[in-house]
Amino acid sequence: MTQSFDTIPETALAWHRAGAGAALATVVETWGSAPRRIGAQLAISGDGRIEGSVSGGCVEGAVIVEAQDALAAGEHRLLTFGVSDEDAFAVGLACGGTIRVLVEPVGAVLPEALLADLVAARAAREPVAYEVNLQTGGRRLLRDSYPDRMRLDRSGFEEDGETFVAVHNPPLRLIVVGAVHIAQALVPMARIAGYDPAVIDPRETFASSERFPDTVLSHEWPDEAVAALGLDSRTALVLLTHDPKLDDPALEAGLRARCFYIGALGSTRTHAKRVARMQAAGFDDEQIGRIHGPVGLDIGAASPAEIAVSILAEMTAVLRCKAA
């Protein structure tokens, strides 16, 4: 089952191109226990259709009205809402808060070409940052910028208080080579943590839908399978077979790619042999140093489920650039 990927910018672009008109509303700042995180979006069409949310339901009605007015006026709106304790409780929060929402009509304010570029980048799984200066009205898409924000998935205002940066990262993916017991525990855990998992194992008895329900399965040889699935900066690659003829082809592909995490099961002795094989294959120390082996944080894990916890914890630490 593929992880759902919000289609809010895509929907806004489609409504605009269909002639209905569209505006994008984005949470740009929060205080207290706000219902949605900064960067959450709501698309509003000129004829009143909506997709997404900026508050979990408490202020959407007011945002829709303001968006209709902004479309008519052809200008952006910066809105501030206080979420009462009663409304907050209704959407599952302990207490209320305050949110600011930026409303941008497509075309008049947010250029159609820029939105189309954003949509194309999202389709290509290309991480991009959307930058808007509320003082000057300047808007642009940036690649290979704001590395800390991109790594932490943290949209927000810069120190000048005028430049807002919206992070558009592809959904996280986990590719597991080896449909073993650890994988059976790791896949559902990773899915809960926001990963879209896939399992590769030529052994169809191991990689079966009974053992991995609602999961993308590949019975191709691992190097062919990872090539088909693709490896990028939002992908974690975990090797669990203990068998070099299965692990190594995927490992070599991972070392050549930009995946943010590579972990390989095995003892310190097994990993030393793996390092020697990678050196013989022509990889340098820096590339080989990207392999986390033995895989997972050292938490004294014993059972497959505990090892899965240690792997997911290490993946998270590497993703967020914490010591791992």
With bands split at pLDDT 50, 70 and 90, how would you rate the model's confidence at 87? low
In this prediction, residues 235-264 reach a mean pLDDT of 93
pLDDT in tens, 265-289: 999 999 999 999 999 999 999 999 9
DSSP state of 143: S
Tokens describing residue 177 = 């080579």
pLDDT at 313 over 70: yes
The full length of the chain comes to 324
d(CA 201, CA 269): 24
Angle at 236 between CA 254 and CA 204, to 5 degrees: 80
Position 34 scores a pLDDT of: 65
In this prediction, residues 248-271 reach a mean pLDDT of 93
In this prediction, residues 219-242 reach a mean pLDDT of 93
pLDDT in tens, 45-54: 999 999 998 8
pLDDT at 312 over 70: yes
The three-class DSSP label of residue 140 is: strand
% of the chain with per-residue pLDDT over 90: 79
Query: What domains are defined for the chain?
Result: 8-168 (no CATH), 172-319 (3.40.50.720)
DSSP state of 2: P
Q: Which of 69-73, 231-235, 305-309 has the lowest mean pLDDT?
A: 231-235
- The continuous run of DSSP H or E covering 158 comes out as none
Position 59 scores a pLDDT of: 83
3-state helix, strand, coil in the chain (%, to 5): 35, 25, 40
Are the C-beta atoms of residues 265 and 240 closer than 8 Å to each other?
Answer: yes
Helices (H) and strands (E) in the chain, counts: 11, 15
19: left (phi over 0), alpha (psi -120 to 50) or beta: left
pLDDT at 85 over 90: no
In this prediction, residues 200-217 reach a mean pLDDT of 96
d(CA 193, CA 260): 16
pLDDT in tens, 165-175: 999 999 999 99
With bands split at pLDDT 50, 70 and 90, how would you rate the model's confidence at 112? very high
d(CA 293, CA 263): 6
% of the chain with per-residue pLDDT over 70: 92
Rounded mean pLDDT of the chain?
91
